[in-house]
Amino acid sequence: MTFVPYDRPVRSAFIGLGRIYDLNMRGYVGNPDVEVVALVDPSPQRRAQRQADWPDAAAFGSAAELAASGVEVDAAEVLLPIPLHADGVVEMLGYGWHVNMQKPMCNDLLDAQRMLDAAKAGDRILRVMENYLFYEPLRRLKAVAESGAIGEVCGYHVKMVGTGRGGWDVPWSSFEWQMEQMKRGRGIMVFDDGWHKLATALWLFGPVREVRAWIGNLAVGPGIDLDTPSTLIWEHENGVRGVWDNTIAMDMYLRSDYYTNDERWEITGSKGFARVNRVTGRGVQQPSLEIYSEGEMRSYHALDDDWASSFRDSGRHWLRWLRTGDGPLMWSAQEAVDVLRFALAAYASNASGGVGVQPRQVTE
């Protein structure tokens, strides 16, 4: 890779202006590292709505139109529906744009390799953003685990309850492609939301040796199934074991400014524990991070625990990276493939009745 950092603001285009644009754009607002030059979405309503944020940006119905327009683009912020990720990203890398794409990267290793190959062929950077790695309470949790403040890590638990009531509006069109994903065996709970959980696991404790999974199926409407309740357990190469369970509580109201995800991360150490009480929603109204050790509970009351801030900081990290080339991408495309392998190992385990599967040995 012969990447040379930009000595001027990066000219960037948003590709896809749907629900998650509302949070992703926060890394771009007031950021001297970037100039937003283009907005792309086939929906004229979305283009008109988002143009208000960037009056000077040119708007297009497709990336191909933008590429043919003469507007110069250095990098694309790709916010496409998951089924369009692989083809869309390969296309955009082919235009010579660096790409910051959304998770999940894609559905299988073949598509992942296509994207990696396209980035290599065009000598472009491909990043798969992972906003959870920028959520301050989780960053603190990692620091606490590494500091020894709770002793040796014995294991950890991640919990996710999707609730049926509360939160922001999600347009039906956003669910349609999720249902398409579900029919391909890549559901919204284990694959889409789970991507974050598996990514944080790798980030916290490193490579995973073995995964066992029991993935459920819940019919919530005619032709609409969810991949829950599901439980995944795994062992890292360092011996630490993790477990993630997800469930749906259809009638539960959850206060949230975003999706209705009630989440927790709890690490048990030989001397105490550390727990992040919430991430996306505002379920447990305690301080977002609590640490117990030696008979005392320490509570963090002033962390930036607004989930949207994790998008802002992930976006800023990307744009700063393009200006400096410094430090890890969080995540590079190759690191994202490790997350994909982790998920694929869980599917393989589930298909074989829950036997242990090594992510390293997954082939497709």
In the complex, which residues of this chain contact ligand NAD (CB under 6 A)?
Answer: 15-20, 40-43, 46, 62-63, 79-82, 84, 102-103, 131, 171, 173-174, 192
Report how far apart, in Å, the C-alpha atoms of 169 and of each of 42, 75, 143, 221 are.
21, 29, 34, 19
| DSSP line for 111-142 | HHHHHHHHHHHHT--EEE--GGGG-HHHHHHH
Give the residue with the Cβ less far from ligand NAD, 136 or 210. Answer: 136
Kindly tell me the burial class for residue 358, based on how many C-beta atoms sit within 10 Å of its own C-beta (0-12, 13-18, 19 or more): middle
Q: How far is the CB of 360 from ligand NAD (least distance, A)?
A: 25
Q: How far is the CB of 113 from ligand NAD (least distance, A)?
A: 19
Give the residue with the Cβ less far from ligand NAD, 268 or 309. Answer: 309
Give the residue with the Cβ less far from ligand NAD, 79 or 138. Answer: 79
Q: How far is the CB of 107 from ligand NAD (least distance, A)?
A: 12
Q: How far is the CB of 228 from ligand NAD (least distance, A)?
A: 17
Tokens of 232: 């995944």
Q: Return the SS3 of 198.
A: helix
Give the residue with the Cβ less far from ligand NAD, 41 or 210. Answer: 41
List phi, psi (to 5°) of 226: -120, 145
- The answer for residues whose C-beta is within 8 angstroms of residue 341's C-beta and 6 or more apart is 109, 359, 360, 362
Give the residue with the Cβ less far from ligand NAD, 37 or 150. Answer: 37
CB 276 within 8 A of CB 141: yes
CB 16 within 8 A of CB 80: yes
Give the residue with the Cβ less far from ligand NAD, 38 or 240. Answer: 38
Q: How far is the CB of 84 from ligand NAD (least distance, A)?
A: 6
Kindly tell me the burial class for residue 350, based on how many C-beta atoms sit within 10 Å of its own C-beta (0-12, 13-18, 19 or more): buried
Q: How far is the CB of 238 from ligand NAD (least distance, A)?
A: 27
Q: How far is the CB of 314 from ligand NAD (least distance, A)?
A: 8
Using Cβ positions, the residue closest to ligand NAD within the complex turns out to be 18
Give the residue with the Cβ less far from ligand NAD, 231 or 261. Answer: 261
The rounded distance, in Å, linking the Cα atoms of 345 and 351 is: 10
CB 194 within 8 A of CB 246: yes
Report how far apart, in Å, the C-alpha atoms of 320 and of each of 6, 8, 21, 28, 126 are.
10, 11, 19, 11, 15
Q: How far is the CB of 40 from ligand NAD (least distance, A)?
A: 5
Give the residue with the Cβ less far from ligand NAD, 19 or 241. Answer: 19
Q: Which residue has the tokens 């890394």?
A: 27
List phi, psi (to 5°) of 292: -110, 130
The rounded distance, in Å, linking the Cα atoms of 309 and 306 is: 6
Q: How far is the CB of 123 from ligand NAD (least distance, A)?
A: 24
Q: How far is the CB of 8 from ligand NAD (least distance, A)?
A: 26
Q: Which of 114, 54, 108, 60 is nearest to 87 (CA)?
A: 114
Give the residue with the Cβ less far from ligand NAD, 62 or 334. Answer: 62
Give the residue with the Cβ less far from ligand NAD, 139 or 212. Answer: 139
